[in-house]
Amino acid sequence: MRFTILILLLVCFSCKNENEKKIINVLGNSDKDLIKTFANNLYISINNYEYELIRSSWDNELFRKRVNKLTKTEQTVFDYYFDKEFATVILNENIDLVNKLKFNTGKLFFSKITYYPTHAEIIYSLRFAKNVDFWKYRVELINNIPKLTDYYSFRDEIWQSQNIINIIRLNSRYTATTKERQQANRSLMESDKYLLHGDSLFALQLLYEIPETHLIGNALSLKRINLAFKLNDTIFASVLIREKEFNKSTYISYLYGYYFYDTIELDKVFYKLEQE
């Protein structure tokens, strides 16, 4: 059965290619310079709405290695869905970073590089007319070539490798026969059905019937908030307050501060981001 919640996974290369790759164990000054140059080139490429560098720099194999510590059953599920469909999804996530800027008149800014013994993390900020977002990439050197091996979005507040682990474990624990999984799937499908028929309010109510066991990350909170936004200001404000109270998400706090002109809340958000 296909997962109801989207999982992002990658492609497996041959053992021969794996053995040929030389991974840097400790970054030296010249390695850091390579990464810094790459980060700047990627910044220029994305702002020019170019896809090639971000496509060619992504390393599926190394991303896949970060989806680790799975049980045998979880690994089987991971391998099946990875090969079946999710390699394409993760490619589209990277491409969508360019599309967000291209079709929403946004601009990417090179914010920060943090170096670790074996890798670096690059933070970019995305600024639009009415909102801001942040995107972080993990970079490793393979044969002296910088490669993107994972990403972290401000909106989702989790590395995608860990997000996959969480979702696989959720779907392994709550199989299609469990009442929690059935309730979650039923509520999501019913919500989509009523939304299609124009009953947005009832569609929103159904989203609150999804069991807490299936509340992973910010996806459901954002679905509720986006749906409430289509209704009216009163419902939107109510949903935003509720999600901020129960989710404790930095991104939800940002939306709350922006909507209610709460400068104290926004200061807290940006202070936290500066500490990343």
What CATH number should be reported for the domain holding residue 254? Answer: 1.25.40
Residue 159 has pLDDT above 70, yes or no: yes
Residue 248 has pLDDT above 80, yes or no: yes
Domain check: are 136 and 243 in the same one?
A: no
Domain check: are 268 and 201 in the same one?
A: yes
Residue 111 has pLDDT above 70, yes or no: yes
Domain check: are 28 and 132 in the same one?
A: yes
Domain check: are 161 and 67 in the same one?
A: yes
CB contact at 8 A, 123 and 136: yes
Number of domains forming the structure of the chain: 2
Out of 113, 137, 169, a domain closes at 169
Domain check: are 23 and 68 in the same one?
A: yes
Residue 219 has pLDDT above 80, yes or no: yes
- Residue 5: inside a domain: no
- State which amino acid sits at residue 203: A
Burial call 110-132: b when 16+ CB within 10 Å, e when fewer: bbebeeeeebbbbbbbbeeeeeb
For residue 167, what pLDDT is reported? 84
Alpha-carbon distance 246 to 76, whole Å? 34
Out of 169, 193, 215, a domain closes at 169
Domain check: are 113 and 35 in the same one?
A: yes
pLDDT, one tens digit per residue, over 41-80 is 999 999 999 999 999 999 999 999 999 989 999 999 888 8
* Structural domain harbouring 138: 19-169
- Residue 157: inside a domain: yes
Per-residue pLDDT band for 21 (boundaries 50, 70, 90) equals low
pLDDT, one tens digit per residue, over 86-105 is 788 888 899 999 999 999 98
Domain check: are 39 and 141 in the same one?
A: yes
**Is the full-model pTM beyond 0.85?**
no
